[in-house]
Amino acid sequence: MTTLRDVLSGVSGLKPKVVDEIWEQVKANSARLDSCPGPHEFLPIEPDKPFIKHRCARCGGEVEGSSARWYKRGLERSGGR
């Protein structure tokens, strides 16, 4: 039986161990974001790069730039900020 890990390893060229390490990082990041007292305060990590990641100043969780912008827009429209 082929697992998702095997598929990801095959298409990315990464060793299964590396895929597992990345998955653990993803789960830890999700846990940080989920446990944040909020609201998130996303700040750009490297503003001079084209695809900017943002890190929450409260919890340290990271999201890609588009997600940070939509989160901020949702807060503004809901009166949260």
Both tokens assigned to 48: 């001079």
Closest to 41 in 3D by CA, of 5, 80, 72: 72
CA pair distance 10, 14, nearest whole angstrom: 7
* Predicted TM-score (pTM) of this structure: 0.83
pLDDT in tens for each of the 81 residues of the chain?
Answer: 889 999 999 999 999 999 999 999 999 999 999 999 999 999 999 888 878 999 999 999 999 999 999 999 999 999 875
Q: Which two tokens stand for residue 75?
A: 């807060």
